[in-house]
Amino acid sequence: MKIYTKTGDKGQTGLLRGGRVAKHHPRVEAYGTLDELNAWIGHVRALTGDEAVEEVLVRLQSGLHVSCSDAAAPFGGAGESARIPRIRAEDVEALERGIDRLGEELPPLKRFILPGGGRVGSALHVARTICRRAERRLTELDEGEGGVNPELIRYINRLSDYLFTLARWANHREGRPEIPWTAVGEQPD
């Protein structure tokens, strides 16, 4: 199978449920940002030598692969296919359980913290911001033409919380301190 098809050479791409749209279409922006997040998490995997973190990241990448398919195919209506993988409520609940599990190993947050820490933790904070951008793209698409699985929006919202918690957890495992945010007027001279 060849990797190139030449069908996108004029700025159009095909959607999973048929039809062609511009490569800058809001749906393409949404699933493209999810793909970017998936690639960034792959980069984080390359940074970590921690098997526990890598195992979690592989699961997240699998969920993002489903998320990309879900976003690429308009949800509901005529032509909805059981063949297209979709994010489900159970997937959101699994993220919530994961957040709770990781949180049990962390000190409680008393203030906002600055993104950063070790290589893995800081890269996970970048992943969180890409995830928030994907969420903005999905909600923009949903408010515009619609056809976005509501569970996908919930999943991506929860995923950013998961990535925040995972960044804290990775930094904690590496012994990296959290730096609390202080207002400009509160900072030492």
CATH number at residue 33: 1.20.1200.10
- How many domains does the chain fold into? 1
Looking at the predicted structure, is the pLDDT value of residue 69 above 80? Answer: yes
Output the pLDDT for position 188. 60
Asked whether residue 155 is assigned to any structural domain, the reply reads yes
Query: Given pLDDT bands bounded at 50, 70 and 90, which one contains residue 4?
Result: confident
Residue 180: what are its φ and ψ, rounded to 5°?
Answer: -70, 145
In a domain, 75, yes or no: yes
Question: Is 187 part of any domain?
Answer: no
Answer positive or negative: Cα dihedral of 162, 127, 57, 108. negative
Tokens coding 188: 């030492």
Kindly state the average pLDDT of the residues 66-94: 87
β partners of residue 180:
113
| Burial class of residue 71, CB neighbours in 10 A (0-12, 13-18, 19+) | buried
Q: What pLDDT does 102 receive? A: 96
- Weakest mean pLDDT among 19-33, 46-60, 136-150: 19-33
For residues 143-156, give the mean pLDDT: 96
Return the pLDDT at 170: 96
**pLDDT > 80? residue 13:** no
What is the per-residue pLDDT for 15?
Answer: 74
Q: Which domain holds residue 45?
A: 21-178
